[in-house]
Amino acid sequence: MISALGSKAMRSIKPTLGDILLWLATAFPFALAILLVATMLTLRPAHADQAVSDKCGGKDLMAELQKTDPAKYASIIAAGEKVENGKGIFWKIEKPGLKPSWLLGTMHVSDTRVLAMPKGAAEAVASADTIVVESDEILDDKKAAAVLFANPSLTMITDGSTISEHLSPEDNARLEAGLKERGIALAAVSRMQPWLIASSFEMTGCEVRRKTSGAKFLDQKLASDAAAEGKQVKGLETLAEQAKAMSDLPIALHLKSLIQTLELGDKINDVNETMTDLYLAGNIGAMVPMLKVIEPGQKITDDDTAAFEQRIILDRNKVMAERSTPILDKGNAFIAIGALHLVGDQGLVALLRKQGFTVTPVN
């Protein structure tokens, strides 16, 4: 997975299935997954909220590892140090003759710790002329989800098969039980693409409840607040483009990720808490090596790795850089995108520097 972040120093470490899970939860447009999963959750029977109400919390795996295996903890930190632009989530973008712009790496969650943003970010948002997010379609999530579901090729298995036909009887039973626990009937989602079904398990119970109660994740809140203030809100991608990127990947890869997510079970809460703590510390580069402490050992193929890296990370980084440049050339913009898109030698920080901008960490 580390190679997906684009850093040459990281490419010697072979990605694993656990890494794919992290990509799906942070690097991939999780905002899109949240919108679609929220729509899926409307299919739940009444009073099903209790099924997810006990799945909150989670422990910081890094803090635990620091006590139980200091050497392994140190190796994770050292690996993170090698990631180009892997430290910091808030960056200043400058070019002579222009007002400064700003770049914030986000987590697509509604956790109040994340919503608080680093020092100086709120002031930068308030003074910016334009707010830029991955997709401005998140301003109306119900409408966006409806548009996506209206195009079956983006979210559905279109060859006439169902998800059950692609799984072993054991894995299918596990999937059915997991969905039932979340209040979703397998029959209701049986023709959805595996990555979308997996997203319903990648979201923690707390995040599901916050979302269904109307809470906004960071990117969405920034866009909504800006629109309410009459500011210009722009997106660097469409949700359809994001879904297309995901649906372009082989179904076999998505099935592996789905089963891996099911196997993690409640441990996803620990993963989320650990990633959140690393994010709040601005240590984005350590996210990927951290995940290896929970990975059960099953490997994916080099072809899987290359396909995911190219389609979900590198291709999208280039699009974001190209589409943000004209906006940044006007100055005084605030860009908020998933934090893992910033790091590595092909991350947005590096790509913007190649466009002639000076990009420096604020904190």
Instruction: Establish if 1 belongs to a structural domain.
Output: no
Among 167-171, 219-223, 241-245, 307-311, name the one with the lowest average pLDDT.
Answer: 307-311
- Check residue 169 and give its pLDDT: 94
Percent of the chain residues topping a pLDDT of 90: 46
- Check residue 119 and give its pLDDT: 95
Higher local confidence (pLDDT), 25 or 201: 201
**Residue 110 clears pLDDT 80, i.e. is over it:** yes
Number of C-beta neighbours around residue 356 at 10 A: 11
Mean pLDDT for 316-326 is: 97
Instruction: Establish if 180 belongs to a structural domain.
Output: yes
State pLDDT tens for residues 181-237: 877 889 888 998 888 888 777 777 777 777 777 788 899 999 999 999 999 999 999
For the chain, the average pLDDT equals: 81
Instruction: Establish if 152 belongs to a structural domain.
Output: yes
Instruction: Establish if 5 belongs to a structural domain.
Output: no
Nearest Cα neighbor of 280 from 122, 111, 132, 133 is: 111
Coil, strand or helix: which one is 352? helix
Domain range enclosing 320: 10-361
Q: What's the number of domains the chain is made of?
A: 1
- Check residue 149 and give its pLDDT: 74
- Check residue 293 and give its pLDDT: 64
Range from 35-49, 68-82, 246-260 that averages highest in pLDDT = 68-82
DSSP string, 109-138: S--HHHHT-STTHHHHHHH-SEEEES-GGG
Instruction: Establish if 265 belongs to a structural domain.
Output: yes
**Residue 79 clears pLDDT 80, i.e. is over it:** yes
- Check residue 150 and give its pLDDT: 78
Instruction: Establish if 2 belongs to a structural domain.
Output: no
CA distance 66 to 211: 33
Give the CB-side neighbour count of residue 218, counting CA atoms within 13 A: 27
State pLDDT tens for residues 254-266: 888 888 778 777 7
**Residue 113 clears pLDDT 50, i.e. is over it:** yes
- Check residue 204 and give its pLDDT: 75
Among 34-48, 119-133, 146-160, 244-258, name the one with the lowest average pLDDT.
Answer: 34-48
Instruction: Establish if 4 belongs to a structural domain.
Output: no
Mean pLDDT for 40-58 is: 47
CA distance 214 to 220: 11
Instruction: Establish if 331 belongs to a structural domain.
Output: yes
State pLDDT tens for residues 264-311: 777 888 888 899 999 999 999 998 788 766 654 455 566 776 777 788
